[in-house]
A and B are shown apart, each in its own frame.
Chain A
Amino acid sequence: MSPIVSVENLSKSYASGTVALADVSLDIDTGEILALLGPNGAGKTTLISIICGLVMPTSGRVTVGGHDNITEYRAARGLIGLVPQEISIEVFETVMNSVRFTRGLFGKRPDDAYLEQVLRSLSLWDKRDARNMELSGGMKRRVLIAKALSHSPRVLFLDEPTAGVDVNLRRDMWQLMRRLREDGVTIILTTHYIEEAEEMADRIGVIDKGRLMLVEGKDRLMKQLGRKQLRMELQEPLTAVPESVAGRGLSLADQGRVLVYDYDTQAERTGITRLIADLAQAGISVRDLDSRQSSLEDVFLSLVEDAGS
């Protein structure tokens, strides 16, 4: 399947010398949910802004649905819906008129029946005649999503959709994203929340300092993360891993005072019972046990820190 969004060697530097993006290449497949993770100022919003046509790249190329987003901007942009990070909304307008306006801007003929469907799916139908300024922050965010969906985009960009949003709304949004994906809409979301990426994404991309550090299927990433570590603090330090338990992924740490066992939580047997029995048999006594699981956050931080060092 050809990618619906293709980013080739995209770079952006500002006149001040700030490099916001450095040689980013990325293909996004039709119908997937891609989460872009990264700290503040990493370049997530810049990447989205260039794809959507808000920011001009210094070099590189973007195609959406096979259309170059600069030379064939009408065809490319017509496929895109954008929900920005900031709540920017026409405060004096009603919800319905705001949504109609966006649909019109995208060159689509009025279709109130479709807009009703969109507003209902976002629990906004009852508020259709309310002015935007009368709405709560969470409701305003829903209006932004309704606006982005008003012209039936094939690709939806959500820039930090759940930042500062309560738990219920976050769940609602996740549900909506799943529904959209079922309809074949491709979703690209940026987020600080690793939990959100874990919950929603098919693939996860990590951006830091303008560079795309990694793009990996979530399942594969989770498999790597499915590894766990058991740390056994020993009564007496060892100089080497005993022969009788060698070859099981054991290593020594902390000058021989800690025996570390790496194992796969998703395997049928973890081998812990056997290991402890064998250690007892070898006369090695354990003072304390501690088990740790690396999270997406750890991987993320180690990637970001490695790049920084």
Chain B
Amino acid sequence: MKIKSSIMKASLLGSLLVVGCSTPKVNYVDPNATNTLTTNFTQNDLRLTAQEMANQVISSGKMNRCKSFTISPVKNATDQYVDTSVMTNAMADTLTNSSSVNSVYVVSTDEMGNQTDELARQNQSGLYDQSTTAKMGKMKGAQCRIDGKLTSDTSVGPDGKTKIVAYTFFVQLFDVQQGAAIWRNSKNISKSLTY
């Protein structure tokens, strides 16, 4: 009995020592790697859908009907928080950096605040040589606009052990003056969680 008690005490002490001394590990992971930790719409999903849509619009050649374009903030119609600016920026990056796109990206709604602040600072603060400042009223308008919307639908199995979340990302390219859709497409992603 005494030996058993001593062994138990020693084991408990040993366990506490091991747990107490172990340190959490941090590792870098490939940012393009798949993330199967959650059924939420992750950064990888955001970039994947945005890149694919941008690639498809480039491949269609219809982007070059527009001399200039802007991207409206992507609407989030899912039931979770999604930083849709990642999608907007990913699409803008792909379109702007592609050597086969001749259109020029112009300031979007999200960026307008910084743009007007800078113009005001240069023209109204009295600090700048007016012969060197960017002038007000000279901004280029967007001939085309890219619009996006993210939706989701969740299904749960009758035993509650399986959940499937289906996401759809819609993208449209509009001619701003005519209001006509030049190109449109959608991308679907489904994720399942099983207990």
* Chains A and B form a bound pair: no
Q: Which residues of A come within 8 Å of B, CB atoms?
A: none
